[in-house]
Chains A and B, each alone.
Chain A
Amino acid sequence: MAARVLTQLRRDPRTVLLMLGISPFLLTLLRGVFDSDLGAFQQVGGPLVGLFPFSTMFVVTSITMLRERTTGTLERLMTLPLAKLDVLAGYGIAFAVVGALQAVIAAAVAFGLLGLETAGATVLVMALAASNALLGMALGLFVSAFARTEFQAVQFMPAIVFPQLLLCGLFVPRDQMAPVLHAISYALPLTYAFEALRRVTLEGDLGAGGLADLAVVLLAILLALALGAGTLRRRTA
């Protein structure tokens, strides 16, 4: 299953190039934008290395799953002796590999070439990035059930990813937001993903609070996967 997904990706080198190339490109852009305020670049850049895989995997998974649904291949799989868990695990493994690769490349460019510094271990940033890739994948899988066309699926990116990016504390500390938004931010998984990354890149270690954040992210992945599994129906109307 995972091997098949990766073979399909290999057939589409342009997509792979975009997936792997966009985060280093955006980080480089960011470095230029903050040219006269490198302190701000340090604040935002480190966590971003770990957040990019989230948005990429979200889009890639929602479109791929939508294709499985619309071309009838998902229906075919559901008529075969294959557990829903196999479908989810197949995509999970394949996209975690890609997500990790993406994180490694983004981290190498950011910490190696752009002069970005992380207080904590680079490996830890990559591991968090991989978990965020999984979170993006799980959410993308779930929302793909609510799109009928690829146009709709693409719109889920601004609808579901952007608000989380805005509210997670990356741009403005959450306690400075309007109280309502501050309250909402507690319900969004990316808030915890960012918090864990912030602790590692700026404070140097996950600590107990960071481990709790990571646990929330992992729970959110499991919840989204369970919801996603619920959308894989053997019988449809």
Chain B
Amino acid sequence: MAIAVERLTVWRGRREVLHELSCRVPTGAVTGLLGPSGCGKTTLMRAIVGVQVVASGRVSVLGEPAGSPSLRSRVGYLTQEPSVYGDLTVRENLRFFGRVLGVGPEQADEVIATVSLDSHADQIVSRLSGGQQARVSLATAMLGRPPVLVLDEPTVGLDPLLRRDLWSSFRALAAGGATLLVSSHVMEEAEHCDNLLLMREGELLAAESPAELRRRSGHHDLDQAFLALIEGGTSA
């Protein structure tokens, strides 16, 4: 297991966002984290990356407590809002973050290609479209080829063609041994995942493969399967 979460409880403000949540993310696979918006997906991801203050519970990544200094070059994190410098060009952003990670400029160009931004590499980020900015941020998360990638809604706002391309690069990364945890609130994306973690209101509803979810719910359509799961109130 690349990531293990045990009885994790997190408060944000006066609200308990995660309630003793436990889950596992297997190595070398794409795991989808799905659930309605506001259910705690981002908070769980923040806890896994180690930027979230947690109330109780344990989170370990690659066998070490989340947020350990040794994990900083081994976990790539994409936040929902693009977190790159708007007044630098795409290439300048990636070269800067690359230097911080200690990787060479050729890797910056490589990840720019992965997110299909080659033709925009020398443009100032703030002048790009929202979807393009999101891809700059995604490219930054991929720098240094981290063995664990935590991606918060990487495909939101992208056109179908780009979504397909990105999912195939995620699949390729997993085939190369990387562990990916990808959140989405669109069930159709679940199709591309090896495993699914289905969340609702701070709790884990189910952890299974798309095929298992279909079989158990009796619905072929994943959207309907998820709805049935939520409304049936069944817990895995």
Contacts and interface: CB of A to CB of B under 8 A. Distances in A.
A189 B58 CA distance: 45
Contact of A79 (B51, B86, B87): B51
Nearest to A71: B83
Given A4-B96, A76-B140, A235 B52 contact: yes
A237 B77 contact: no
Contacts of B83: 71-73, 75-76
B73 interface: yes
Given A4-B85, A7-B92, A82 B100 contact: yes
B12 A80 contact: no
B124 interface: yes
A157 interface: no
B52 A80 contact: no
Interface in A1-52: 1, 4, 7-8, 11-12
A234 B50 contact: yes
B69 interface: yes
A11 B73 CA distance: 29
B84 interface: yes
B74 to A, nearest CB: 9
Contacts of B12: 237
Interface residues of B, number: 31
A236 interface: yes
Interface string A62-74: 0000000001110
A235 B67 contact: yes
B50 A80 contact: no
Interface string B59-81: 00000000101001101010101
Nearest to B55: A237
A75 B85 CA distance: 12
Contacts of A79: 49-51, 72, 75, 77
A6 to B, nearest CB: 11
B88 A7 contact: yes
Contacts of A234: 50-51, 67
B172 interface: no
Nearest to A237: B53
B57 interface: no
B97 A76 contact: yes
Interface in A199-237: 234-237
A8 B12 CA distance: 33
Contacts of A76: 77, 79, 83-84, 97, 140
Contacts of B38: none
A71 B81 CA distance: 8
Contacts of B50: 79, 234-235
Contacts of B124: 11
A77 B100 contact: yes
Contacts of B88: 4, 7-8, 11
Interface string B166-183: 000000000000000000
B105 interface: no
Contacts of B81: 71-72
A73 B69 CA distance: 18
Residue picked from B67, B75, B82, B87, most chain A C-beta under 10 Å = B87
B102 interface: yes
A78 interface: yes
Given A4-B96, A80-B97, A82-B100, A71 B49 contact: no
16 contacts: A4-B88, A71-B81, A72-B83, A73-B84, A75-B79, A76-B79, A76-B140, A80-B97, A80-B100, A81-B69, A81-B72, A81-B101, A82-B100, A236-B52, A237-B13, A237-B53
What are the 8 A-B residue pairs with the smallest beta carbon separation, nearest first?
Answer: A72-B83, A81-B72, A11-B87, A76-B83, A4-B96, A237-B53, A81-B73, A8-B87
Interface of A: 1, 4, 7-8, 11-12, 71-73, 75-82, 234-237
